[in-house]
Amino acid sequence: MTLRVVLADDQALVRTGFRMIIDARDDLEVVGEASDGGEAVRLTRELAPDVVLMDIRMPVVDGIEATRRIVADGGRARVLVLTTWDVDAHVVDALRAGASGFLLKDIRAPELVDAIRVTARGDALLAPTVLSRVLDRFLRATPDPAPPPSLRGLSGREREVLTLIGQALSNAEIAERLRLSEATVKNHVTAVLRKLGLRDRVQAVVAAYDHGLVRPRRA
């Protein structure tokens, strides 16, 4: 199956470079390019891509608002945010808006390709070291104006799984920690996302932080 990608960046050279990398893969295809967030929203609605590579700083409509609109539409597209800095406060705003992860613009070609595939699968695209650096620094300092989803419907085991997701552990690592099979962990993760109304693991990470299941690390 070919994964369909929309590029959203106000710099034509950046879009050209990403297009060359993506279109060189048999399982990836750039189906549209946008130079501002409003155009990215329109193309996403028209083309129904699997992944949108979204720059944060764009004219007319910025990447954060564009992400919010795309997620609110309820389509299948997942947003992968592009940023120049790995500790940009706007990254947290983008995650809260529903982005499925973020990348630095100087990412190497193989990593970009892998990131698109990971995002399309619905997995978290935040390495543990990046996760702790970004979320520990900004998430508690920028509370979400909307209340986090209630954990009341989760079982004790599901709360444990949510806590470990918040620590950026993979299914295999959670399985080892809880002495469960990976299949069982996958079922628990699916149940957590469904009960909390979350799109993916990144939103689960944010929920874990918002509920205090994961504590920011001291500098």
- pLDDT tens, position by position, 144-182: 666 778 999 999 999 999 999 888 788 889 999 999 999
Q: Which secondary structure element, helix H or strand E, spans residue 103, and what is its range?
A: strand 101-104
The predicted-structure confidence for 2-24, as pLDDT tens digits, reads as follows 999 999 999 999 999 999 999 99
| pLDDT at residue number 182 | 92
pTM for the structure as a whole: 0.75
* Polymer length in residues for the chain: 219
Residues of the chain falling short of pLDDT 70: 85-89, 123-146, 215-219
Please, which residues bridge with residue 81 across strands? Answer: 54, 102
| pLDDT at residue number 219 | 44
Contact criterion met (CB below 8 Å) for 36 and 65: no
Nearest alpha-carbon partner for 67 in 46, 53, 85: 53
- Cβ neighbours around 202 below 10 Å, total: 25
Contact criterion met (CB below 8 Å) for 207 and 199: no
